[in-house]
A = this chain, B = another copy of it.
């Protein structure tokens, strides 16, 4: 049962190892020799099968993002189909977008938490070709969800929704990518996410349970119109009265 994949062709074995190493050490911090060494293939195999290191990274992402993009679009299609033209509830839009990703993290045959961590980390990689690659891969899905959120929150300005989508992506990426980083920072009380004994399925579910309420709370927070950071006097507690609510 655990040795289903003992026999793997070179191509797949390289992709699996590269996925893990890129996650652990970053793109620039992972050399071809590390990859081919861990995958137990010849050094030239990467260039033979993929052409270059850059192309290998792209392929690592493409085989996962193809599934993710399709799944996310389909989830939104279903929601919009059921809604019959009515705006969707924000919670359902978030569930479709982030829930799909987190469910992917729970499925080891789709890369599991390894791929999720890689995705979160790589979004901040500064290399030029990585950025252009991601905007190409992500553009369509993000655009669809952005429009869905704009329809779901008709009273909130578009710009504000984009900001908050930005914040939500950040919270999610760090929550995933930064586990071992912030585990030290925040003390060891998380336990859950960074626990290696727990399998991806459970870890992803626990993360989802905590993350989704946080994101919804942030998305639906009062608008900043009447808040002023430069004074220390603003009151953002829930009991305060006169505030515009998203």
State the A residues within 8 Å of B (CB): 23-26, 28-29, 89-92, 95, 99, 102, 120-121, 123-127, 131-132, 134-135, 138-139, 142-143, 146, 158-160, 162-175, 177-178, 180-182, 184-187, 189-191, 205, 208-224, 227-230, 232, 234-238, 245
Q: Is the CB of B102 within 8 A of A186?
A: no
Given the known interface contacts A89-B237, A95-B232, the answer about A29 and B171 at a Cβ–Cβ threshold of 8 Å is: no
Partner of A24, one of B124, B126, B208: B126
Q: Say yes or no: A29 contacts B185, CB within 8 Å.
A: no
Residues in B neighbouring A126, C-beta threshold 8 A = 23-26, 29, 121
The answer to whether A208 and B229 touch (CB under 8 A), given A89-B237, A124-B121, A187-B143, is yes
Residues of B within 8 A of A228 (CB): 209
- Are A236 and B216 in contact, CB atoms less than 8 angstroms apart? yes
Other 20 A-B pairs with CB < 8 A, given A121-B124, A167-B175: A24-B126, A26-B26, A28-B28, A90-B237, A91-B234, A95-B229, A99-B229, A123-B174, A124-B174, A159-B189, A165-B186, A166-B182, A167-B214, A168-B171, A170-B175, A208-B229, A213-B223, A213-B227, A213-B236, A216-B236
The residue in A162, A228, A230, A245 that gathers the most chain B C-beta atoms within 10 A of its C-beta is: A162
Query: Which interface residue of A23, A171, A189 has the most chain B CB atoms within 10 A?
Result: A171
Instruction: Tell me, rounded to whole Å, the shortest Cβ–Cβ distance linking A103 to chain B.
Output: 8
Bound: A184/B175 CA distance, A: 22
Shortest Cβ gap from A210 to chain B (Å): 5
Residues of B within 8 A of A95 (CB): 229, 232, 234
Closest 9 CB pairs of A and B: A170-B174, A217-B221, A135-B184, A28-B28, A218-B218, A91-B236, A171-B171, A208-B229, A214-B218
